[in-house]
Amino acid sequence: MSETAATSTKATPAVSPFIFVVCQNGAEAATKQEILAHHPNLKLSFSRPGFITFKVDPEKPLPLRFTLKSTLARTYGWSTSKLKSENADELIDQLLETEHFDAASRVHLWQRDLTLPGKNGFEPGVSELAKAIGSQIDAKSKRTDQVNQYAAADDLVFDIIMVEPDQWWLGFHYAVTPAGRWPGGAPMLEVTKEVFSRAYFKLKEALLWSGIKIKPADVCAEIGSAPGGACQFLLEHDCEVIGIDSAEMEDEILANPKFTHIRRRSFEVKKKDFKPVDWLVADMNLDPGGTLETVASICGYEGVRLKGMVLTLKMSDWSYVPKISEMIKQVRELGFQVVKTRQLAFNRREFCLVAIKNKITLRKTKR
Ligand SMILES: C[S@@+](CC[C@H](N)C(=O)[O-])C[C@H]1O[C@@H](n2cnc3c(N)ncnc32)[C@H](O)[C@@H]1O
């Protein structure tokens, strides 16, 4: 546990009859379907875009530190109560009286996503409204830390979800997953940074979530690299970068001596060009089958020795979600020991699949 109000010896919270799940705005139906398919002990309760609650079958309870088998769930926890008032001061006063508010290691407060990430400048994370309310809470609370600090592994997090500005749902979770350490399951990235595309943030989140640490001088190839957000991120990390795309890359990327542009489509590239590659990134406008076929042909080529892959798999519709387990199996069969999927907070209608050849690499690089 972190050095905060956390050191309190107050009893840990008990499980509640309900859990909450946060997902991308618009992904509710697919998320419900995915979760119910894997967790028949849950029953749908309340739902708003980006926010769902489920009732847990008391005969088949979940453990206190539960995890869900879901690609679309951004984060989740126990749903305990809700506060309603049009007066923020009143809400804060009620909040400060709530059990476990003082004892939790961290307090996370966020608004459900109001639209699709990337639409009209919207980005996931702690909104301006949530920041302002967080400061008001800090000013009134006895806690020694501030609202919305990252949690450490296994910290008890007190959750405040602003489902509406005047309707706050309260809950808690233990930070047993990497995304469980971030407010609302979204890493707090500097989204005002000038980037060539949002792929910069997607790749950054993918690495934070998966624990992959790409080292300087690693050779990274990206298929579907234009205009160059992900390459910008990799070049900032001093990698040798090969961008594969028939479309134009940004001039600044092309001017970087550590960058090589193969101005072709994936199937026109000679497989031997992938021999020096450590990490393969793919972000093509293809359906998941097309991307997986492309990377399978690269992995199967003699002399290609990838450490891992970070794939963005595009979903023209949600019918791909029930097929994700099969996709994971397909990638495992290519010889990757760890294969994980998640719809990143910064993803749009797509999800991320990471594959790691040898799990020891991951342990060595864990932050
Ligand atoms: C979402 S954009 C990629 C964004 C990019 N990753 C970035 O960081 O800016 C998709 C790209 O995939 C490229 N693409 C589509 N099919 C491809 C293929 N078969 N081989 C290589 N690139 C492809 C398109 O030209 C397009 O530039």
pLDDT band (50, 70, 90) for residue 6: very low
Q: What's the pLDDT tens digit per position in 217-258? A: 999 999 999 999 999 999 999 999 999 999 999 999 999 999
> Residue 64 Cα, ligand 1 centroid: separation in angstroms?
42
Q: What's the pLDDT tens digit per position in 247-295? A: 999 999 999 999 999 999 999 999 999 999 999 999 999 999 999 999 9
Q: Which atom of ligand 1 is nearest to the CA of 200?
A: 8
CA dihedral 91, 93, 98, 103 (to 10 degrees): 120
Atom 26 (ligand 1): residue with closest C-alpha? 224
Distances in Å between the Cα of 110 and the Cα atoms of 40, 184, 266, 267 are 29, 6, 40, 43
> Residue 228 Cα, ligand 1 centroid: separation in angstroms?
9
Distance, in Å, from the CA atom of 97 to the CA atom of 99, rounded to the nearest integer, reads: 6
Atom 5 (ligand 1): residue with closest C-alpha? 225
All residues at 6 or more sequence positions from 34 whose CB lies less than 8 Å from its CB, including other chains: 70, 71, 72, 73, 321, 322
Using alpha carbons, select from 323, 312, 344 the residue that is nearest to residue 74: 344
Q: What's the pLDDT tens digit per position in 111-164? A: 999 999 999 999 999 999 999 999 999 999 999 999 999 999 999 999 999 999
Are 296 and 323 within 8 A, CB to CB? no
Are 124 and 204 within 8 A, CB to CB? no
> Residue 246 Cα, ligand 1 centroid: separation in angstroms?
8
Walk me through the domains of the chain, giving residue ranges and CATH numbers.
Answer: 5-185 (3.30.2130), 199-365 (3.40.50.150)
Q: Ligand 1 site: residues with CB under 6 angstroms?
A: 196-197, 199, 223-230, 244-247, 265-266, 283-286
Q: Which atom of ligand 1 is nearest to the CA of 199?
A: 8
Atom 23 (ligand 1): residue with closest C-alpha? 224
